[in-house]
Structure 1
């Protein structure tokens, strides 16, 4: 609103609106849909597609929940800032808990205060910083004669809302999945159980309120990989030991041998967006085992194609009944942005002891609005049961982006 009011007779162009989003970090729908809304609101002819049509809220919410893999609500209130996150709904008389020393799973490791400021003061919290140390892939590539080699760094899911939960004494906790789940990063959060213990212990509602730095240190990450593959689809994929990751890779790349490796670092999860199998798709595409531009089929049966060139990113997706084209397109744009950003720019500096040193939003390498290529999405309607389509888009765009950069062995590829 302030940007529009700065020049009411001649609203600033899309590029200036993009620069105004530099401090914004929503990962769900990328930047482009925000800029499309800007053009629509200021009366500028849309440079992408026709205006949004949310249709009925039930279908929109269902598609959003399928894409986000957690409870999602779509509507004007969310856009206005009333998203229904856990921190938005905590009772007024709640205590606040912040991490002290020790694992998140231990209720005794949390420091309690009547306010966030008091709890942080008692915990001795020190503001996080961005390190000057470089980020390196933590795993060595397997020995062998390969047609393609891929090594990935630690990366941060970077959800807009950090993990949070609250609970009434004797009640059921409200957790990080109240509206959105960081594409799997919050699915196995221990905060709900700890919130219940602390609420019962203190006889008052307790809000678990870790900071951004806390979430980066303790939150789940996609496991780094280092792999080599041949044109016939065989190869070896070394990956940080993670429950379920071998099974995830085998669903799309049964001829890749998966070797899980113990490494020091933050916790990992196979629940993160396309973890393991997207890396396999990227590696096999680079090796020539998958054709450039060939449909990427997700384990759920969604299909996506992607073309990345100097003109931008072009995507097709088919994932059963569309339910709501505006919501599906938005999530696919977000997936394309996330894939482009992951391959080209993102990394975390993690030392040999497993400590994360990049602790600020700006240090994650997430590509901002002005640097994001224009993304077009063609949704192909289907008659089958609706399934997640944006994960297939993520894998397809990641593979196409990697090839566009020349398939550099180490990510990010710049």
Structure 2
């Protein structure tokens, strides 16, 4: 780096303008990835920012798990808000926008221009400067160091790699006369912010969810209890951190499934189970999903199958329910319609290469935020059907350990996604709709593969 000049977000002349446009277009939800994207976007010449292919190539260096890329593309094309005299905050009710974000994300979420600057308030950022750092060692025990570098040295772990191991589908569809079958495999939630918590001696640990919601994967994270225990043991504040490899190996995954439907609407649902979560939870969620999807419970056989693999949890986004809703929608003709008991509804269909989703969510509260969360849900669904998966070794250990190895759709691989918000719903009670969007997009993406019997359809 000798002789080089390094420019960070704070060093940009138009940093505030970029933050404004990112907020105005819904291109920043958690804000974790946004400053880096802004710095790279600011380096593009104006004519390159107007070139969609150039923007997608630029975004190859980045990953956003929240927004589905579409709002980010729109923000980069628009450029820094101050260049045309606008300001994202004008006329916006940040409180109403935050309510919509919390409804869709399931955790408290602050919406403001500050989020796009990286100042959204991640709990790990609030840890004292002199806090000790705890990491998991190669033997699975926690080690404590005076700094992150010290803890890394003590942990003795080697950075994970991507494997060439073939994918596996842990539960099979039984033999029978079926009109629709589906087998799913291990999928990594792929959130960008690894689990983190800090605690002072005798205090309460910062919540793992304060470092990003993770689509339900951090609900039972161990880092909070570890931070509290180690802070009390050492008499000093302690940050307990997962590495990416820890997230993949120890973090929960949605249960892989095998689903088969017969001509009368009955069928078999087999649910993979691994880890400590009570298998009865999977059965309860499955029954709820079958009823919501319009199936008759008495006509279905639900079975939990113990398998070797990372821990499974139904806490992840629409686990089991999303797949069942997609299967039910697939039995009808397009467009694919998913309705929740709340009255929220999503209707998805491809128009050429563009995925169009009509959402009925009551009062939008903030249409930009609603559209952003729905686009992110659609992106996750597209990836799950097409490309997302994690390979395991012969004894059930994940061997794809880098975030680039999970098959998350890159910007250039993601089709245009258009979210249409129903005008007739405006003024009604606001309804969370992103789970319906996720399921409807699963169905539409699956339909586009001619109902491939396994997800992901484009990887083996």
Secondary structure (helix, strand or coil) at the match of 2:418 reads strand
Secondary structure (helix, strand or coil) at the match of 1:22 reads helix
Range with bigger deviation, 94-103 or 72-81? 94-103
The residue aligned with 2:158 is 126
1:369/1:243 CA distance change after superposition, 3 Å? farther
Write the distance in 1 (CA, Å) between the matches of 2:160 and 2:73.
31
Structure 2 residue 235 is the aligned partner of structure 1 residue 203: yes
The residue aligned with 1:166 is 198
Write the distance in 1 (CA, Å) between the matches of 2:48 and 2:395.
54
From 306, 311, 316, give the equivalent of 1:267: 311
Superposed displacement of residue 12, structure 1: 4.8
Q: Is the contact between residue 336 and residue 444 of structure 2 (CA under 8 Å) also seen in structure 1?
A: no
The residue aligned with 2:328 is 284
Structure 2 residue 431 is the aligned partner of structure 1 residue 387: yes
Q: Is the contact between residue 67 and residue 372 of structure 2 (CA under 8 Å) also seen in structure 1?
A: yes
The residue aligned with 1:81 is 118
Secondary structure (helix, strand or coil) at the match of 2:209 reads coil
1:54/1:268 CA distance change after superposition, 3 Å? farther
Counterpart mapping for 1:367-386 below 5 A = 367-380=409-422, 381-386=425-430
1:221/1:301 CA distance change after superposition, 3 Å? farther
Superposed displacement of residue 179, structure 1: 5.0
User: Which protein has greater RCO, CA pairs closer than 8 Å, 6+ apart?
Assistant: 1
1:116/1:338 CA distance change after superposition, 3 Å? same
Write the distance in 2 (CA, Å) between the matches of 1:64 and 1:163.
21
Secondary structure (helix, strand or coil) at the match of 1:131 reads coil
Write the distance in 1 (CA, Å) between the matches of 2:428 and 2:252.
33
Superposed displacement of residue 243, structure 1: 5.1
Q: Is the contact between residue 251 and residue 299 of structure 1 (CA under 8 Å) also seen in structure 2?
A: no
Write the distance in 1 (CA, Å) between the matches of 2:127 and 2:79.
33
1:368/1:33 CA distance change after superposition, 3 Å? same
Q: CA RMSD for the aligned pairs?
A: 2.0
Superposed displacement of residue 312, structure 1: 1.2
The residue aligned with 1:307 is 349
Q: Is the contact between residue 230 and residue 284 of structure 1 (CA under 8 Å) also seen in structure 2?
A: no
Structure 2 residue 70 is the aligned partner of structure 1 residue 32: yes
The residue aligned with 2:17 is none
The residue aligned with 1:245 is 282
For normalisation by structure 2, the TM-score amounts to 0.82
Secondary structure (helix, strand or coil) at the match of 1:249 reads helix
Write the distance in 2 (CA, Å) between the matches of 1:296 and 1:87.
37
1:319/1:59 CA distance change after superposition, 3 Å? same
Number of matched residues? 400
Q: Is the contact between residue 252 and residue 298 of structure 1 (CA under 8 Å) also seen in structure 2?
A: no
Structure (1/2) with the larger helix percentage: 2
Structure 2 residue 177 is the aligned partner of structure 1 residue 139: no
Q: Which runs of 5+ in 1 are unaligned?
A: 44-50, 104-108
Q: Is the contact between residue 336 and residue 443 of structure 2 (CA under 8 Å) also seen in structure 1?
A: no
From 41, 45, 55, give the equivalent of 1:17: 55
